[in-house]
């Protein structure tokens, strides 16, 4: 009788232990699911915030508000023009921007962009042929947008807009020509590792994307002398 009683008591104790263990396991599982859900919600909120930067005039610079353009080749149907000085004032203003960036000088860069906008406003488009006019307008529209952002942006964003502007300038020179001897240079370190071009009036590499950090980084891709 004593043995049977002990057996029954042991069975009851084991059942009680198993029941309590199941309750503890379920409780821990629920807590774990709640913590995981909170963590996921926190990451979702953090990832959903738009990246903003402070402009020099106190306004926020929102990267999703505009397109920085691309430093890669566009789909423009451009035929090389003959040697001409039509684009020379535009090139001069562009080089002013380039030199400002090479020297890490935000104010000089902005001043160059203002000069570029002024040159666009007085450019005599009657010099263009009917075939050139449409492509020229496409280039200038995009170039103005980049220049406007360069005027008001901090220097790192000036450099981002300069990438697209450099492609525009290369296309413009190809379209209408220039009397200047220029060098098309290439920096492999920017644009997400895809690299970016720029135009220079000097043979020595003076990198506008890297500035004093790596001024001589890059190579000459092409000498432009139409």
Strand bridging mode 196-200 / 52-54 = unpaired
For the chain, 226 residues long, give each residue's pLDDT as a single digit of tens: 444 444 444 444 455 445 545 444 444 443 343 333 333 333 333 333 333 344 444 434 444 444 455 444 455 444 444 457 889 999 999 999 999 999 999 999 999 999 999 999 999 888 898 889 999 999 999 999 999 999 999 999 999 999 999 999 999 999 998 999 999 999 999 988 999 999 999 999 999 999 999 999 999 999 987 5
For residues 28 and 77, state if they share a domain. no
Count of residues making up the chain: 226
Token digits for 164? 């697209």
For residues 39 and 59, state if they share a domain. no
Residue 10 structural domain: 1-44
For residues 77 and 30, state if they share a domain. no
For residues 208 and 99, state if they share a domain. yes
Structurally, how many domains does the chain consist of?
Answer: 2
For residues 188 and 100, state if they share a domain. yes
């Amino acid at each position: 009788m004593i043995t049977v009683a002990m057996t029954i008591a042991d069975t009851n104790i084991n059942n009680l232990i198993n029941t309590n263990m199941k309750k503890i396991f379920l409780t821990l599982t629920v807590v774990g699911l709640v913590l995981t859900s909170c963590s996921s919600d926190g990451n979702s909120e953090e990832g959903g915030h738009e990246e903003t930067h402070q402009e020099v005039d106190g306004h926020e610079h929102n990267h999703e508000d505009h397109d920085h353009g691309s430093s890669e080749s566009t789909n423009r149907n451009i035929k090389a023009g003959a040697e001409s000085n039509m684009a020379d004032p535009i090139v001069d203003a562009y080089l002013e921007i380039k030199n400002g960036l090479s020297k890490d000088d935000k104010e000089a860069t902005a001043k160059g962009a203002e000069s570029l906008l002024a040159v666009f406003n007085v450019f005599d488009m009657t010099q263009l042929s009917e075939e050139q006019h449409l492509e020229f307008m496409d280039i200038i529209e995009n170039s103005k947008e980049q220049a406007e952002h360069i005027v008001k942006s901090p220097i790192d964003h000036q450099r981002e807009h300069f990438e697209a502007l450099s492609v525009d300038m290369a296309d413009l020179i190809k379209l209408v020509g220039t009397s200047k001897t220029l060098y098309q240079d290439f920096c492999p370190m920017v644009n997400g590792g895809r690299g970016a071009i720029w135009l220079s009036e000097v043979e020595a590499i003076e990198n506008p994307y890297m500035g004093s950090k790596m001024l001589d980084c890059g190579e000459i891709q092409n000498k432009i002398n139409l």
